[in-house]
Structure 1
Amino acid sequence: MAIWNVFIKPTVTDRGGNAVFVREGLSFAALLFAPLALLRFRLWLALLAYALIAGASEAAARLIGMPALLEFAITAGLHLIVALELPALRAWKLRRIGYREAGAVVARDRDAAERRFFARDLDAAAPPQRPTPLQAAPRPAGRPGGGQVGVIGSFMEPRPS
């Protein structure tokens, strides 16, 4: 099961066309192909930061003669950071362009998350049902006057003998 954050553009009344579902968790595609994942979601500022950091580490590796293993570790670390932070970067971008967070849904995939979110949305829009009135509990028999037996803690009221 995955957690999906739902973002909606508040100015438009058509909720279905403007809902964006962002899956929380590690992005395996970004772990292997970080720049392509950033391009896919049009995260231009994050892509620019990635390119600057990757370029600076490459330049430093050439200037100081860094071992290839260390250069690989830096690149792998950069990919891991992008893979872990991709949902947060997407949420930041959506908030920046005017979307608001409408809630979260737990579901296996995006289709199930959409069905759950919009079903909950329709349930909230339905008129509330009237509650049924509560009936009084019957009085216990065996006591003169049919009165209630008082209880203090777990001890009953003493009976006259």
Structure 2
Amino acid sequence: MPVYTVHAPFPGGADLRATDKFVFVRDGFHFWAMIFGPFWLLWNRLWLALIGWLVFMAAFHAGLSSLGLGRSSIFFADIVVALLTGLEASTLRRWTLSRGKWRQLDIVVADDHDTAERRFFECWSQKQHGIVNDQWAVDRGGPPPTRGVPGQQFSNPPPIPAGGIIGLFPEPGGSR
């Protein structure tokens, strides 16, 4: 069963008004990326991946030609590169989204794209409490607690356990 990753634009990722911009990327082998590698990259607007693919293929062909390999060997090497392009196409798409300040919201397992959308939005809409759920600007009524300020909850560090420090080092600052 295919696995989809759900990506949202960073500023409005948790906003119900931005749901039309969510992107579902299917993980797995992409046949058309294998057959039409540069055209698939161009169609999906993966510009840096396309430039990298073109530079790699030019250097790859120049290197194989300088080694004196025959045309059939170069053809089979091109088939291997095409297979790798088909296998890594979804990774290139997720990488491009992450460079564009998109964030991954969830992973959904579904038979097809429509089912993945339905499953994601059923779970996601239950978690939303209002039209805007801005998780980065939450007012909790006061400044965060800090150490070293008298009278605050976290002013003093917790006491050391009775048997010493728990972990790999038996005493603070001790040698290994």
Alpha-carbon distance in structure 1 between the residues aligned to 2:35 and 2:125: 39
For 1:57 and 1:70, locate their aligned partners in 2 and report how far apart those are by CA, in whole Å.
12
Q: Secondary structure at the match of 1:66?
A: coil
Aligned counterpart, 1:78: 81
Query: Within the alignment, does 1:104 sit opposite 2:107 as a pair?
Result: yes
Identity %: 34
Matched, 1:10 2:17: no
Q: State the one-letter code of the partner of 1:96.
A: R
How many Å apart are 1:56 and its aligned residue?
2.2
Secondary structure of 2:45's counterpart equals: coil
Q: Which residue of 2 aligns with 1:145?
A: none
* TM-score (norm. length: structure 2): 0.66
User: Does the 8 Å CA contact 1:27/1:83 hold for their aligned counterparts?
Assistant: yes
The aligned amino acid for 1:44 is W
Equivalent of 2:92 in 89, 109, 118: 89
Please report how far the alpha carbon of residue 69 of structure 1 lies from its aligned counterpart in structure 2 after TM superposition: 1.4
C-alpha deviations, 1:45-79, integer Å up to 9, x for none? 11112111222233345445421111011111111
Structure 2 segments unaligned to the other structure (5+ residues): 130-176
- What 5-or-longer segments of structure 1 have no aligned partner? 127-161
Structure label with greater radius of gyration: 1
Q: Whole-Å Cα distance in 1 between the matches of residues 43 and 109 of structure 2?
A: 24
**C-alpha RMSD of the superposition:** 1.8
Q: 2:10, 2:56 → 1: CA distance? A: 36
Query: What do residues 59-108 of structure 1 show as CA deviations (whole Å, max 9, x unaligned)?
Result: 34544542111101111111111111111111111111111000011111
